[in-house]
Structure 1
Amino acid sequence: MSSKRKLIMPTQAEDAAINAGIAADPDTYELSQAEFKQLKRVGRPRSESPKVALTVRYDADIIEAFKSGGEGWQTRMNHALRDWLRTHRA
């Protein structure tokens, strides 16, 4: 999805002021290349079976029925399709 927001880069003076603030902060420092390479990735581990992003159209009443159950409606929809595949040929 494309954002219509414009990225505003700092001027050289603003960038210098930002870097001076970072340098003056005793609680932070810039990592060396060696330290940067030692960083480990954080966050959710990669899935063995990742989901596929796609665009699909459903009737509004179908989507509303799943959404009315609250959070996790896409997961419930995925489970419903999987259940259907158990008894039907795709």
Structure 2
Amino acid sequence: MSKTSKTDWERLAKLDDADIDTSDIPELDENFFRRAELRVSVKQAVTIRLDADVVEWFKGQGAGYQTRINQLLRQYMQAQQGHRR
């Protein structure tokens, strides 16, 4: 099953910035940037053997399957550690 966007990107690309309603999005002020933290995750390339059907299922979910596998492994790791982020 592939996921497709329901967004009309062509129509949006034609809009001027002033025509976009951002009233539900708070402005990022100095306080936001003062408290903001830069988080850079360090990725490490590994070789791992997975069952072919597992890999195919993740690939079938679309682009970013390796990121999703990483997220699931992180959730499992955190559950084993007894906390969640």
| TM-score normalised by L of structure 1 | 0.42
TM-score, normalised via structure 2 length? 0.44
When Rg is computed on C-alpha atoms for both structures, the one with the higher figure is: 1
Q: Which has the higher contact order (CA 8 A, sep 6+)?
A: 2
